[in-house]
Amino acid sequence: MTASPRSFPSHLSSAVIARRILRLAAEIYAGLVVYGSLLPFDFHARPFTEATRAFAQGGIFDHSRTDLATNVAVFLPMSLLWASAIPNGRSGRGAWWRVILVMGRCVGLSAAIEFIQLWLPNRSSSLGDLAANAIGVLLGFLLWLIVDPWMRQGLEGLIEDHIGEPRQGPWRGTMALAMLSIYGVMLAALAGWFTHRMVGWSEALARLRALHLLPLYYHQQASIFVAVPSAIVVACTYFPVGLLRRVVGRSGKPLSVVNDVGMTALWAAGIAALVEASKLFLDGKRADTGNILIAVLAAASGYLLAPRLLRRYARRPSA
């Protein structure tokens, strides 16, 4: 399967593009893991010998089941994504050596995070965390053995859908306007515009000064049973931005996946920033910059999945 030369260089196949997307996803995910593991970056001076002694004294089985499950779950997708980015999957030359390097890279990253956390008073670091992360890496590798062909075929199919010639009908402008209007009202309602009292500029500025601007700070401070459902709700809220970008941005020219994903991310960032800024003026609501980051990732995912979800419209013949 070869990509259209009008969208990608002619020598790039959908398999190569899929591998690059998987590699980018792995890099983004690894960056988020490092960022989330070091929040809020409150480093304190501590003698090296004291830090290493505290790390060694931390038992492997001293953690709660919730902490253990979290440490395992965080590193499972990382090894899965990195392994999926290996050229030609399991059948490629030297693939198994690359798998070993991937697993070593994930465990090494875990060790580096745990080491740095020794100087973060609000973080715990121990051999137990490292062992749980290593278990997550191993489970991700085992999952890769099962789902790798399915992941590659599915992603390559999505890419083929994107680089194909998009169709449009006379309904596009009217439908897009109606969808944007409905979505805008829904966002306003979810933000609390219709149910919360408005506050003045002075109070809004005071709330802004007290706001922690680091993305995901409030998610990190909350319980995992609160943070995860909250993130899922935000992701579901901004996922339709990707669908709308696909509908509104369609034309008679083949789509450039990279450019359109970037534009979709900018759309989501701008919309989410406006929504979060408006919460400064709503009594009982709290702005959260982490929602902007979640919105960007959700909207980009929505755009990539849009051809499949909107296929019944794309297949309608033009009038």
Q: What is the pLDDT along the chain (319 residues), one digit of tens a residue?
A: 444 434 444 445 777 778 888 888 899 999 999 998 998 888 888 888 887 777 777 655 556 677 788 889 999 999 999 888 877 656 656 667 777 888 899 999 999 998 888 888 888 777 888 889 999 999 999 999 888 888 888 888 877 777 664 545 445 567 667 878 889 899 999 999 999 999 999 999 999 999 999 998 988 888 778 888 999 999 999 999 998 887 776 554 445 667 788 889 999 999 999 999 999 999 999 999 999 999 999 999 998 888 777 765 545 544 4
Query: Residues 6 or more apart from 166 whose CB is under 8 A from it?
Result: 250, 251, 252, 254, 255, 314
CA atoms within 13 A on the CB side of 290: 25
pLDDT for residue 32? 92
The pTM assigned to this predicted structure is 0.78
pLDDT for residue 149? 83
Query: Residues 6 or more apart from 94 whose CB is under 8 A from it?
Result: none
- Contact between 142 and 79 under an 8 Å Cβ cutoff? The reply is no
pLDDT for residue 313? 56
Instruction: Tell me which DSSP letter residue 89 carries.
Output: G
CA atoms within 13 A on the CB side of 186: 13
pLDDT for residue 89? 59
pLDDT for residue 319? 43
d(CA 311, CA 179): 17
pLDDT for residue 292? 96
- Residue of 259, 264, 260 whose CA lies nearest to 241: 264
pLDDT for residue 110? 92
Q: How far is CA 116 from CA 34, 48, 119, in A?
A: 10, 11, 6
How many Å from the N-terminal Cα to the C-terminal Cα in the chain? 30
pLDDT for residue 306? 83
d(CA 280, CA 307): 36
- Contact between 17 and 159 under an 8 Å Cβ cutoff? The reply is yes
